[in-house]
């Protein structure tokens, strides 16, 4: 079962409450998304650590309900 963009956003915001999240469905199939996530929690962390925080927020859905997620992460300017 495919995930809806609102569900992805809700999971990320539950883990990173201050996050500004933008989700784009890349293929129209509910399996391939791009996400831009801006959160103060990312400040001082490497890009890998930032992505790990987002993947952890998705609670194991990557590779199952969510096939692909292209991530752009950053701390607020």
Query: Could you report the per-residue pLDDT of 10-57, keeping only the tens digit for each?
Result: 999 999 999 999 999 998 888 889 999 999 999 999 999 999 999 999
Q: Quote the pLDDT of residue 1.
A: 66
Angle, helix 5-15 to helix 47-57, in steps of 10 degrees: 110
DSSP for residue 45? -
Taking 90 as the threshold, does the pLDDT of residue 63 lie above it? no
Q: What is the pTM of this model?
A: 0.91
Alpha-carbon gap, residue 73 to 51, rounded angstroms: 7
| CA–CA distance, 36 with 74 (Å, rounded to integer) | 8
Burial of 15 (0-12, 13-18, 19+ CB in 10 A): middle
């Amino acid at each position: 079962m495919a995930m809806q963009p609102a569900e992805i956003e809700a999971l990320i915001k539950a883990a990173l409450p201050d996050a500004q999240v933008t989700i784009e469905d890349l293929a129209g199939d509910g399996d391939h998304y791009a996400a831009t996530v801006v959160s103060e929690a990312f400040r001082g962390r490497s890009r890998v650590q930032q992505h790990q925080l987002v993947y952890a927020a998705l609670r194991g859905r990557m590779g199952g309900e969510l096939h692909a997620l292209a991530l752009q992460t950053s701390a607020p300017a």
